[in-house]
Amino acid sequence: MNNHRTSSSDAYPTFNTEKVRDSYLLQSLFNKGQLDLVYTDLDRAIVGSAVPTDTDLTLEAGDQLRSDYFCERRELGIINLAGPGVVTVDGTSYALENRECLYVGRGSKSISFSSNKSDNCAEFYLLSYPAHATYPTTHAVVADANKLELGSSEEANERHLYQYIHENGIQSCQLVMGYTVLQTGSVWNTMPPHTHDRRSEVYCYFDIAQGHRVAHFMGEPQETRALWMGEKDIALSPSWSIHSGVGTGSYAFIWGMGGENQRFDDMDGFPISELR
């Protein structure tokens, strides 16, 4: 597990492109045969990936957590982004197809990952936050998600949002998680943008075609920057930052949050005309 520190909102305006990317962009994940974890200073979120091939991968606590096992004081959200695989939690196996989700509750001691086929391996995306309450481990397929149709073709932001872990879905302590798919001809997500003063957010972009990119806009509304994102790149979004993206082609993204509440509408929007 690696440590990753972001910057304060005061220091951020002085950063050049390299420093902004070093602080808010993760590109070290999804390596075949590896389980990679990054401990961040955004509400102590841990972002990770597990890409098992021929052998199982086991999730361990690491020195940073000072705990006997990973979920001793944490909860964990998992979404599979590739071939079929299995997540085993305390002896119970959960088969996850592409884009399916598993929530793992606090107190789960043994967590491992495997792929059905090594030549079409699963790619598990992991997001974890501290938890002070225990909820049951729960598997959800795509049909179980709460599907919201948002945006419009006129504004080039028509999209389908799939909510898995949220206040009216899979129950959790503070973790909220799901994914969004842009519809044909639409390129913008979350425009006009907003902030969450009571939550941090993490974006994992995927299904980006080779040679294409997503420009992820971040920063305070009067001091924005762009992170150019590729396949399975991850943007860290502090509570003071907007989070909005536009793609040069079709794409999707996993969104995940942790904080004081799980309300979908707890956000502060900003008029497009006032962005700088």
Q: Residue 23: its pLDDT value, please?
A: 97
Rounded Cα–Cα distance for residues 195 and 59 (Å): 32
Q: Residue 197: its pLDDT value, please?
A: 82
Q: Residue 260: its pLDDT value, please?
A: 81
Write out 120-179 in H/E/C secondary structure: HCCCEEEEEEECCCCCCCEEECHHHCEEEEECCCCCCCCEEEEEEECCCCECCCCCEEEE
Distances (CA, A) of 271 to 106, 166, 221, 234, 252: 39, 27, 9, 26, 24
Q: Residue 183: its pLDDT value, please?
A: 94
Rounded Cα–Cα distance for residues 73 and 230 (Å): 33
Distances (CA, A) of 33 to 11, 55, 83, 139: 37, 8, 14, 24
Whose CA is closest to 29, among 53, 49, 47, 46?
A: 49
The answer to pTM > 0.75 is yes
Q: Residue 125: its pLDDT value, please?
A: 98
According to DSSP, the β-strands at 252-259 and 176-182 are antiparallel
By CB neighbour count within 10 A (0-12 exposed, 13-18 middle, 19+ buried), where does 172 fall?
buried
78 contacts: CB under 8 Å, gap ≥ 6: 87, 96, 101, 102, 103, 104, 124, 125, 126
C-beta of residue 159 within 8 angstroms of C-beta of residue 183 = yes
206 contacts: CB under 8 Å, gap ≥ 6: 81, 231, 232, 251, 252, 253, 254
Number of Cβ within 10 Å of residue 17's Cβ equals 11
* Residue ranges per structural domain of the chain: 2-274
Rounded Cα–Cα distance for residues 103 and 105 (Å): 6
Q: Residue 160: its pLDDT value, please?
A: 97
Q: Residue 34: its pLDDT value, please?
A: 98
The arrangement of secondary structure in 2-274, i.e. its CATH architecture, is Sandwich (2.60)
Mean pLDDT by groups of 10 residues along the chain of 276 residues: 92 94 96 97 96 97 93 98 98 98 98 96 98 98 97 94 96 97 93 84 97 96 95 96 94 94 80 89
